Structure 1
Amino acid sequence: MSDEAFRRVSADRGLAWIIEGFDLFKQAPLLWIGMLVLWVIAAFLVSIVPVLGSLAVNLCFAAVMGGFLLGAHEQSEGRPLSFDTLLAGFRPPHLEPLLLLGLAYLLIGLAVAAVAVVLGFLLVGSAVFSGNMQDLHLGVGVIVWLIMALLMFMVFSLATWFAPGLIVFRGYKVIDALKLSFAAALGNLGALAVTGLVGIGIVLVAMIPFGLGMLVALPVFLASSYRCYRDIFGAGAAPAVK
């Protein structure tokens, strides 16, 4: 993948994305919180339906993310944010590719989970069932399993991080979006690591007042994900949300 498709930024940009996301949140805090709460309530109600509800929520996740990204884009371009923005990912031309991306998320997630279960059995479960419970062997197996599971989760995260933005703003096909997302995220791993570490700290603080701080933290993270995308791929060409 050519570096011309994306920018490489310094690690300190990871903190800047959080700050810029908070700046966007400050412009319309009630709308950001309201959109988040609306999505959480809708997801909860849909997920009540056995099996199909959870599948629907997973399939729609990328479309919801697309709506939040488009909302942050509107703000960055000086246009007002609105509740209608949340539904932008459910309209043509974004709906079909974002639903396909949601399906890809689901299938990849299931594949990663299946591989993790198989590896867990091979490395740990076989020792348990055979009665070979030597502490050293079992401990090494657990460590190896955790490392491999972490690596698989990281690959999944890198491949999906920028994919909604690439579909919404550049019109990429799902597979191409996943491939470019992985390459760009890997090329900017330092900045993403800083964002992740700062995000963990923010979540720990946000959870102190009965978790109410997450009403601010989550919208900030959503807005910062757009600033991250824009920094690495540019403003792109996105139509005004109607």
Structure 2
Amino acid sequence: MNPYSVDPNGSSSDPASQVIESQAASDGAQFVQEGNSIDAGRATAWYGYGFDQFKANAGVWIGMLVVLFLIMMVLAFVPVLGSLASNVLMPVFFGGLMLACQAQKEGRIVTFDFLFAGFKDKFGPLALLGLFWMIAIVLITVVAGIFAALLFGGAMATGALTGGAGAMMGLGITAVLGFVVVAMIISIPMAMAIWFAPALVVFHNIAPIDALMTSLKASLKNWVAFLVFFVLYIVFAIIATIPLGLGWLVLGPVLIGAMYAAYRDIFLK
């Protein structure tokens, strides 16, 4: 059997009632906790799988991503608590989307219910992932901010000693660039840690911290594939954004399917 085959036909009339079953469903694949070492070229296959999954059930996938976007937009208007809730709940929604990917692969019907499946099972561990992610974002901002402040302080001191406004402005720009660069460098391992964590929680009952560490180690083990995936993402994101952002109606669901395919490639054999 092709491990990336997508069956658009399903036999269940009540997919929400089978959420827990989908976690235990098996096609004979075995879980590899340390992660498989894969060829970097598999990253292109992940996007191919995501697109096939999207084509098989485009309406539902677009609908789920649009609803999720609207929920995040509403939360964005709520001061403080909205930002907190969006960060904590994102892995919960993502866990449901992973279950939807699993259900579609098994040939079951995928409906809007799956978007909220993470609230019905594994809510606590998934929400903890979101909390850890939010803490990580704060740490990234603080560390990068301290680095930028040190650079800017140096710019102020240099400007005061030399009296050169131009030099001071240049070092100020350097401080801003320093913030961005440091934030990106720190964000890479954070992204690797969160990448597979929701899938590891919903499919294998791994505790949140262990899921983050497992995801990080497996991603580092396959860092070239991770890099290829990210570069392709940048290219696709630019293309998707050009037509008034409408391309994200396709790219969003494709990314979900691609990340599910990556999970299967790296953690199953």
Normalised to the residue count of structure 2, the TM-score between the two structures is 0.80
Residue 69 (structure 1) aligns with: 98
Secondary structure of the corresponding residue to residue 49 of structure 1: coil
Residue 261 (structure 2) aligns with: 227
Q: How does 1:120-199 map to 2 (within 5 A)?
A: 120-122=148-150, 124-132=151-159, 134=167, 138=171, 145-199=179-233
CA drift at 1:197: 1.4
Q: Distance in 2 between matches of 1:209 and 1:29?
A: 19
CA drift at 1:46: 2.6
Counting matched residue pairs gives 231
User: What is the letter of the counterpart of residue 255 of structure 2?
Assistant: F
**Structure 1 residues 143, 210: CA separation in 2 closer, same or farther (over 3 Å shift)?**
closer
Post-superposition Cα deviations, 1:135-181, rounded to whole Å, max 9, x if no partner, equal 7x937766665543322011111111111111111111111111111
CA drift at 1:131: 4.1
Q: How does 1:25-40 map to 2 (within 5 A)?
A: 25-40=54-69
Q: Distance in 1 between matches of 2:79 and 2:178?
A: 35
Q: Distance in 2 between matches of 1:231 and 1:155?
A: 20
Residue 107 (structure 1) aligns with: 135
Post-superposition Cα deviations, 1:7-31, rounded to whole Å, max 9, x if no partner, equal 0100100100000011111110010
CA RMSD of aligned residues (A): 2.1
Pairing 1:203–2:231 present = no
Post-superposition Cα deviations, 1:100-147, rounded to whole Å, max 9, x if no partner, equal 11100101111111111011111x211233243647x93776666554
Q: How does 1:46-85 map to 2 (within 5 A)?
A: 46-85=75-114
**Structure 1 residues 142, 106: CA separation in 2 closer, same or farther (over 3 Å shift)?**
closer
Pairing 1:216–2:256 present = no
User: What is the letter of the counterpart of residue 157 of structure 2?
Assistant: S
Structure 1 stretches of 5 or more lacking a match? 236-242
Secondary structure of the corresponding residue to residue 5 of structure 1: coil
Larger gyration radius, structure 1 or structure 2: 2
Match of 2:119 among 79, 90, 93: 90
Structure 2 stretches of 5 or more lacking a match? 1-31
Q: Distance in 2 between matches of 1:194 and 1:89?
A: 29
Residue 239 (structure 1) aligns with: none
User: What is the letter of the counterpart of residue 110 of structure 2?
Assistant: L
Percentage of matched positions with identical amino acids: 37
CA drift at 1:60: 0.3
**Structure 1 residues 103, 77: CA separation in 2 closer, same or farther (over 3 Å shift)?**
same
Post-superposition Cα deviations, 1:41-68, rounded to whole Å, max 9, x if no partner, equal 1221233221111211111000011011
Residue 74 (structure 2) aligns with: 45
CA drift at 1:4: 5.9
Normalised to the residue count of structure 1, the TM-score between the two structures is 0.89
User: What is the letter of the counterpart of residue 124 of structure 2?
Assistant: E
User: What is the letter of the counterpart of residue 113 of structure 1?
Assistant: T
Secondary structure of the corresponding residue to residue 115 of structure 1: helix
Secondary structure of the corresponding residue to residue 126 of structure 1: helix
User: What is the letter of the counterpart of residue 137 of structure 2?
Assistant: G
Secondary structure of the corresponding residue to residue 8 of structure 1: coil
